[in-house]
Structure 1
Amino acid sequence: MNWHHSCTITNNTLPDNPIVFVSEGFAKMTGYTREEICGQNCRFLQGKYTDSETVKRVSDHLKKGKSVSVQILNYRKDGHPFWNVFVILPIHDAKGKVPAFIAIQKNITKIKLSQPLADWIWVHTSLWLELIGKSIYSQIFIHNKIDGRRLVNMTADELVSLGTSRDDATYIVQEIHSLVQRENKVLTRTVKTRSLDSLGITQSSDKV
């Protein structure tokens, strides 16, 4: 199983609906061992910036024995956040009751970060820092709520004033420029393709 995909099974006949089965993928995705996970309720992955409304939606569906699918900000054992999309399905017995649930999860952090920079909130920028190896500054970005619109205009001096080292500030600015360039290339290709399509011109990859 690809570690980006994982599953768990919970026992709904026990108090607090604890996890009783953990796939290797789930353990790798979260950083916890199977022994640490089993017996826990799935909310143990929640953290400071997990959306409470999303949590309530999941809880309400489980209480009614219904399936539910959401995207939610979870946290690994090392404290690093990640975007998790999961679907929870009820397992019915012969009497129609729900003694268990099965949940299938996928880490979609990179997919979230492929969204336009203008749509990034501060959670996205802090996750991006982790991807470029500068997660030590995630809390600075979170505390100052640096979103995508602010990120693209940041200078090395501003980053230093927020608490980064000069070398790291220079590196982060370089990565910001690379990020903007990649997005501009994607936008240019999209506009070009749409323009050709509107003229009824079909692009071909075949070389003459």
Structure 2
Amino acid sequence: MINTITNKELLFKALDYTRAGVLITDPQLDDNPIIYANQGFYEMTGYAAPDIIGQNCRFLQGEETDQNEVKRLRDSIKANESCSVTLYNHKKSGEGFWNSLTVDHLYIEEEKKHFFIGVQKDVTREKEIERELLGSQQEIASLACPIVPVFKGVAVLPLIGKVNQERFNHILTITTEEIVDRRLTTIIADLSGVTNASDFLLADLVTLKDVIRMQGANLIITGMSSTIAMDILQTKDLLYNNLQTAGSVQEVIQSLIEEEKKKLD
């Protein structure tokens, strides 16, 4: 433990130069209040010493703060354990920010006292980058499997480029979700933009057909290359021969429209 006034003053001055926010709380006092905050904390939150000294640091929380994370933090403090959480907190101005908080338990043997030291960092920018990255990944995933609604119950799945196993699994997941969400009865898979024609792709189409059928929908394949068409004609596997095909998306749509007209007549 630091015993001299000089060393204590030096320590606190050093903490004030730290960019991170630092809090020290005393759990021996009622409601585990703040007994020290460094300059970094004041600058980060906009609060001043008279606002927070003697207060529990929950004043930083708001309606958007994840209460599960708060509970995890409280449970760790109750057990005198260290903990790291990321909380959505609020500055004195009301502005929200993401707070990466690490709380460590400190026991001073000479005084037989417990303290908690909280080190806080504003990670709002990092969270924004993370959100932007997630949005980009979702957009890429959407482009990898774009489901285009045509009219009630009918949608087109235009496939472009190479269809590898990873992409096919994604197509399978998204397609089945869209069947449920949009109550689709017909999926038109257009292969005119596919660049890899192989037995692997043919097997995938059979799997896609079977999964879609189990969901109560029908798969129609258009834009099939001559290579794939010849593979189907030459194979003796009935599963492949049972694939329903058409010349183009427009042809299928026109046929479905005519069927609907006949039902109305």
Q: TM-score range by the shorter chain?
A: 0.5 to 0.7
| Alpha-carbon distance between aligned partners in 2 of 1:95 and 1:73, rounded to the nearest angstrom | 37
Q: Which residue of 2 aligns with 1:45?
A: 60
Q: 1:3 to 1:114 in 2, by over 3 A?
A: farther
CA displacement at 1:96 relative to structure 2: 10
Change (3 A) 1:112 1:17: same
2:43 maps to which of 28, 39, 42:
28
Q: How does 1:41-190 map to 2 (within 5 A)?
A: 41-94=56-109, 99-117=114-132, 119=134
Is the Cα–Cα contact under 8 Å of residues 17 and 39 in structure 2 kept in the other structure? Answer: no
Output the TM-score relative to the length of structure 2: 0.43
| CA deviation string 1:102-123 (max 9, x = no partner) | 1111000011111252636xxx
Instruction: Give the C-alpha shift of residue 42 in structure 1.
Output: 1.2
Instruction: Give the aligned partner of residue 186 of structure 1.
Output: none
Q: Residues 107 and 4 of structure 1: is their aligned pair in 2 closer, same or farther, counting only changes over 3 Å?
A: farther
Per-residue deviation, 1:10:
0.3
Where does structure 1 lack aligned partners over 5 or more consecutive residues? 121-147, 150-208
Relative to 1, partners in 2 of residues 1:55 and 1:98: Cα closer, same or farther, differing over 3 Å?
A: farther
- SS class of match (1:20): strand
Return structure 1 stretches of 4+ with deviation > 4 angstroms.
1-4, 95-98
Classify 1:88/1:63 alpha carbon distance in 2 versus 1 (closer, same or farther; 3 Å): same
**Post-superposition shift, 1:34?**
1.2
TM-score normalized by the length of structure 1? 0.54
Residue 99 of structure 1, CA deviation: 1.7
Instruction: Kindly indicate whether the alpha-carbon contact (under 8 Å) linking 2:45 and 2:92 is maintained by their aligned counterparts in 1.
Output: yes
Task: Indicate conservation of the 8 Å contact 1:7/1:104, yes or no.
Answer: yes
Equivalent-residue separation in structure 2 for 1:14 and 1:60 (angstroms)? 18
In structure 2, distance between residues paired with 1:58 and 1:22: 19
CA contact (8 A) 1:54 1:72 kept: yes
Q: Is the 8 A contact 1:3 1:29 kept in 2?
A: no
Letter in 1 for 2:28: T
Amino acid at match of 2:99: N
**Equivalent position amino acid for 1:103 in 2:** G
8 Å Cα contact 1:65-1:90 kept in structure 2:
yes
* Distance in 2 separating the partners of 1:109 and 1:3: 18
> Which residue does 1:155 correspond to in 2?
none
- C-alpha separation in 2, matches of 1:15 and 1:39: 9
Give the corresponding residue for 1:203: none
In structure 2, the gaps of 5 or more residues are: 1-15, 140-265
SS across alignment from 1:66:
coil
Q: Distance in 2 between matches of 1:118 and 1:43?
A: 31
Counting aligned pairs with the same residue, the percent is 38
For each residue in 1:145-201, what CA deviation from the matched residue of structure 2 results, as whole angstroms up to 9, or x when unmatched?
Answer: xxx97xxxxxxxxxxxxxxxxxxxxxxxxxxxxxxxxxxxxxxxxxxxxxxxxxxxx
Label 1:72 to 1:97 Cα distance change in 2 as closer, same or farther (>3 A).
farther
Contact 1:3 1:26 in 2 (8 A): no
Larger Rg: 2
CA contact (8 A) 2:22 2:119 kept: yes
